[in-house]
Amino acid sequence: MRKTVRTARYQQIAADVAGKIVSGGYKEGERIFARSALSVHYGVSPETSRRAIALLADLGIVEVTKGSGCTVLSKEKAEQFRMQFNDFDSVDSLRQDLARQIEEQTKSMQTLKNTIQKLSESVGHYQYKNPLQPMKMAITEACHYIGQSIGSIQLWQHTGVTIVAIESQDKTMIISPGPYATFTAGEEIYFIGPADSWPRLERFLYGANETDE
């Protein structure tokens, strides 16, 4: 599970107090609220307000006097902290936006992957259920066996594919062409066979040829 980095509440309170010092709401040398008053003002626990005051004190923005609350020491340091906090908050916001975008893209990719898988399964299922439904492939000049016959290249022995028809460029259809029919560029062949007949035939007719090595 992805964890999102968030600014702690006590840091937000400290930054808000620093912002009031910068804007002049609290003056240097002025004594401001004690821990209990801070808790009531921001609606947080005493521990949260204690940590906020401790952070301001550690940064030299205020001075804590036991039993008397805290006194503003430095507007300059308050401004430095406020600027750093704003930078951190902006970076954190960008980080969260980026994480959200990545998560959304991951979900989209998973959805696409699932859709492709379902499509693949559906096609495979259709071919399995319809083994006599012919598939079609174009014969181009790139075919290794232009001018050679179906029987001479032992097509069925190599691929398990049976050519059931050949359509010429003028749309003439030859049904059950037989082993002596030759491969001609520009024709389209119709064939039946196993579920993976198309990639098998494509590899055989157009893939790497031993004579090319």
CATH of residue 147's domain is 3.30.70.1450
How buried is residue 135: exposed, middle or buried, by Cβ count under 10 Å (0-12/13-18/19+)? Answer: middle
Query: What contacts 21, CB < 8 A, 6 or more positions away?
Result: 28, 61, 72, 75, 78
Give per-residue pLDDT as tens, 68-80. Answer: 778 999 999 988 8
Comparing CA positions, the residue from 115, 21, 108, 111 lying closest to residue 71 is: 21
**98 falls within a domain:** no
Whether residue 2 has pLDDT greater than 50: no
| C-beta atoms surrounding 5 within 10 Å | 10
Q: Please tell me which residue, 192 or 116, carries the higher pLDDT value.
A: 192
**1 falls within a domain:** no
Question: How many distinct structural domains can be found in the chain?
Answer: 2
Whether residue 4 has pLDDT greater than 50: no
Average pLDDT, the chain: 82
Q: Which of 87, 121, 151 is the last residue of a domain?
A: 87
How buried is residue 87: exposed, middle or buried, by Cβ count under 10 Å (0-12/13-18/19+)? Answer: exposed
Give per-residue pLDDT as tens, 25-62. Answer: 889 888 887 778 888 888 889 899 888 888 899 999 99
Q: Which of 25, 53, 87 is the last residue of a domain?
A: 87
**103 falls within a domain:** no
Q: Show the DSSP H helices in 130-178 as ranges.
A: 155-159
Whether residue 5 has pLDDT greater than 60: no
**140 falls within a domain:** yes
Q: Tell me which residue range forms the domain holding 30.
A: 9-87
129 — pLDDT class (breaks 50, 70, 90): low
Average the pLDDT over 67-92 and give the result: 78
Task: Tell me, yes or no, whether 80 and 149 share the same domain.
Answer: no
CA–CA gap between residue 181 and residue 190 (Å, rounded):
13
Q: Is the dihedral of CA 143, 181, 201, 158 positive or negative?
A: negative
Say what the pLDDT of residue 86 is.
Answer: 72
Which pTM was predicted? Answer: 0.40
